[in-house]
Structure 1
Amino acid sequence: MKRRNVIKSLTMLPFAGSIVAKAATTYTPAVAPPAAKRDLFKELGVTPVINASVTMTFLSGSLMLPEVLEAINSTSHDFANMFELQDKVGAKIAEMLHCEAAMVTSGAACAMLLGTAACITGTDAEKIKMLPNLPGPRAEVIMQKSHRYLFDQAVSTTGAKIIEVDGAAEMAQAINNNTVMALFFNAAEKSSITHEDFLKVAKARNIPTFLDAAADVPPVENLFKFQKMGFDLVTFSGGKMIRGPQSAGLLFGRKDLITAARLNHSPHEAPIGRPMKVNKEEMFGMYAALKSYIERDHKKEWEDWLQRAKQIGGKLEALQTVKTKTVVDPGPANAFPSLFVTWDQSKIKITPKDVQTALKDGTPSIVTNSKGDSLVVGVVLLRPDQIDIVAGKVHSILQKASAV
């Protein structure tokens, strides 16, 4: 994940019923798990990892909150009609997000596929059945050339063809009778079209717009910002900073498009989204996670992250020539603080990349990042009991290298 070395201001942003105990309105950090009778990590030979990086799928996303685990465990003992459950959970999520409709998907990539499918098929049962092998010209999805990325394969999986454009004028010219959707990748490093102009061009030709904002909270306001701008469909990952089940995601926006997306999804038996089913526990868990995230004291959470960085930095700066600074990634993805650590490599004879490798290969395994001459230590995904562990391991590696 690309990170930018930009110091940002360290200030931060300023439904009836519940399936779980009342969600805490203050920040609830992840806690150390209770002692288990059976250690499945050990039994299977899987290495537990301390994530001092960012939310990455290959690192299993983030750690679920206690209220999410409670939601999963408390609903695992009974069956449910999945059509009814998606109806009820979707309605509550839409209420929380102040939008027309919503659904739980198997991650943001699934949401992209279902959103594209919805724009192609609508509620036409025959089209839904035939997708991705519809007769006639291929459906086309507009994207900025600078927004192309690995995950747009979810779009082409529906059979749609991606049309690259550069600038608003070229976008307008590219729209034709085969155009079904326009996709905006919110975390793209460069855009030739602003959000506003993108929406203006698409709406002038009545083309549905989709915004992929998978990793773009915090701030919490982003959950509401883009639909207010006018995007017809928006997706966020559920298993990143919202801290729901890793394989869950959110798709929300226009009611007619969400209805069509659901027809292309499980539990319907034959559509393109059937292999991407979401189980009932994930739906309950995603609801609980979103409710907790929206109600959280985000200012307190931010202050806690800054204190973590200060705590680790204070221990490391006890070593000669070591300097630390808290850096806030400008986002929109991963817009939270991390600790950048530098040292005089003529005195502490090890590079940041070598420290990164030593941490990863150590016990416990700790995943960090490096950027140029800096070791980058993520603090937002650490359990409280892991803060001193990370500080101690980095300190030990640097101290040993200073004695060489």
Structure 2
Amino acid sequence: MRQADESYVEMEELLEKSGQFIAEQLGVEDAYITAGCYAALVLASATVMTGSDPDKCAQLPDTTGLKDEIVFQKMQHYGYDRAFTIPGSKLISVGDENGCTAETLNDAIGENTAAVAYLIQPDQGNAVPLAEAVGIAHSHNLPLIADAASQIYPLDYFRRNAQSADLVCFGGKYFNAPHSTGFVCGRKDLIETVRTHGFIGPRPVGRGMKVDRQEIIGLVTAIDIWLSTNHEVRSKEQDGRYAVLAEGLENLDGVSCEVHYQEKSHTLSNLHVAFDTAISGKDAAQVAQELDVGTPRIKVNTHGKETIVISAYTLNAGEEDIIANALRHLLRG
């Protein structure tokens, strides 16, 4: 990123070449780097309404005369699904909180439908499966937009997700790119329209969603590193930090430590520290609060009243010792 700061570039070319690099790495037709996954979803939503028609592109967020409805399963609603509506589109909920059938999803598609949206998660519950939802969208000659923000590990899962729909959106922060970056990948014709709506288009709806050359190179470098990293070694390194934490707490009465592995999470694992509240005199929420206001500040999660959860993913070398010392002081009673 420092090297990128030393030179001026043609931004259009940089976005094109960086997108081609990502596409080659993930086995898709094309990609476009954005100001985070949310921005990717906004640009994708604009794209499915306008296509490549320059007049339609220019009229957003006025959707008069455009197909402006995006169909989305109600049980998949989440805090950021507002992104699908930002360029003027409407989110049409189908099914209920408990699930959706393929027939219900199919019947919800009408003359004003521009696309189907989907939230990719490891466990889809009673939602219509992704592949089936894509098939339903395609049967109506419509694209499917997928939010796969953090679904990047294992690496074959990352690639399968990238290849799973017409437009798939990811957050760069999950593979250690700048927090303010992300990308959308998929069909080349649709990505070309995403570029039109991006911040250097002729009248771009995404003008405020800028990324600079340093961020673009940061994301390209980060995804290159992520896809070439030996994640088994990374997992063992995290285990080593948990071992230090467990050793620092092993002589405390009523305290036990157990590593929990997460099959489809970029963070890989976490450490559950269970303790006897009768001995410590405080529950997990109280321990977490005291860690949070301590010096240095330590952030942990809780699981029930007697367990705190620690992730090594964001720790720097040696910080496990700091956490062990703080916990030893709080849990010894």
Q: How many residues align?
A: 326
Question: What aligned pairs does 1:280-299 form with structure 2 within 5 A after superposition?
Answer: 280-299=213-232
- In structure 1, C-alpha distance between the alignment counterparts of 2:57 and 2:205, rounded to whole Å: 8
Is the CA contact 1:107–1:249 (under 8 Å) kept in the aligned structure 2? Answer: yes
Match of 1:365 in 2: 297
Superimposed CA distance per residue, residues 103-137 of structure 1 (whole angstroms, 9 cap, x where no aligned partner): 11000000101111111111111111111112136
- In structure 1, C-alpha distance between the alignment counterparts of 2:191 and 2:66, rounded to whole Å: 24
Return 137-146 or 343-352, whichever deviates more: 137-146
Match of 1:276 in 2: 209
2:257 is paired with a residue whose SS is: strand
Question: What aligned pairs does 1:94-243 form with structure 2 within 5 A after superposition?
Answer: 94-136=23-65, 139-165=68-94, 166-187=100-121, 190-228=125-163, 230-240=164-174, 242-243=175-176
Q: Structure 2 vs 1, CA of residues 335 and 142 (structure 1 numbering), >3 Å: closer, same or farther? A: farther
Is the CA contact 2:267–2:313 (under 8 Å) kept in the aligned structure 1? Answer: no
Return 358-367 or 287-296, whichever deviates more: 358-367
- 1:248 is displaced (CA, Å) by 0.4
Is the CA contact 1:216–1:335 (under 8 Å) kept in the aligned structure 2? Answer: no
Q: RCO greater where, 1 or 2, for CA within 8 Å and sep 6 or more?
A: 1
Is the CA contact 1:243–1:289 (under 8 Å) kept in the aligned structure 2? Answer: yes
Is the CA contact 2:172–2:180 (under 8 Å) kept in the aligned structure 1? Answer: yes
Q: Structure 2 vs 1, CA of residues 184 and 245 (structure 1 numbering), >3 Å: closer, same or farther? A: same
- 1:199 is displaced (CA, Å) by 1.8
Match of 1:63 in 2: none
Match of 1:260 in 2: 193
Residue 158 of structure 2 aligns with an amino acid whose one-letter code is L
Match of 2:311 in 1: 378
- In structure 1, C-alpha distance between the alignment counterparts of 2:113 and 2:67, rounded to whole Å: 9
Residue 86 of structure 2 aligns with an amino acid whose one-letter code is T
Is the CA contact 1:339–1:376 (under 8 Å) kept in the aligned structure 2? Answer: yes
Match of 1:80 in 2: 9
- In structure 2, C-alpha distance between the alignment counterparts of 1:391 and 1:100, rounded to whole Å: 48
Of 390, 393, 397, which aligns to 2:323?
390
- In structure 2, C-alpha distance between the alignment counterparts of 1:384 and 1:262, rounded to whole Å: 40
Return 265-274 or 249-258, whichever deviates more: 265-274
Identity of aligned residues (%): 28
Is the CA contact 1:147–1:191 (under 8 Å) kept in the aligned structure 2? Answer: no
Q: Which runs of 5+ in 1 are unaligned?
A: 1-71
Of 282, 294, 298, which aligns to 1:350?
282
- In structure 1, C-alpha distance between the alignment counterparts of 2:86 and 2:269, rounded to whole Å: 36
2:83 is paired with a residue whose SS is: helix
Superimposed CA distance per residue, residues 266-325 of structure 1 (whole angstroms, 9 cap, x where no aligned partner): 122532111001111000110000001101111111121222222212222221110111
- In structure 1, C-alpha distance between the alignment counterparts of 2:117 and 2:243, rounded to whole Å: 40
Is the CA contact 2:151–2:161 (under 8 Å) kept in the aligned structure 1? Answer: no
In the superposition, the TM-score normalised over structure 1's length comes to 0.77
Match of 1:51 in 2: none
Is the CA contact 2:148–2:161 (under 8 Å) kept in the aligned structure 1? Answer: no
Is the CA contact 1:210–1:232 (under 8 Å) kept in the aligned structure 2? Answer: yes
Match of 2:97 in 1: none
Is the CA contact 1:252–1:258 (under 8 Å) kept in the aligned structure 2? Answer: yes
Q: CA RMSD in A?
A: 1.6
Superimposed CA distance per residue, residues 376-399 of structure 1 (whole angstroms, 9 cap, x where no aligned partner): 111111111212112221222212
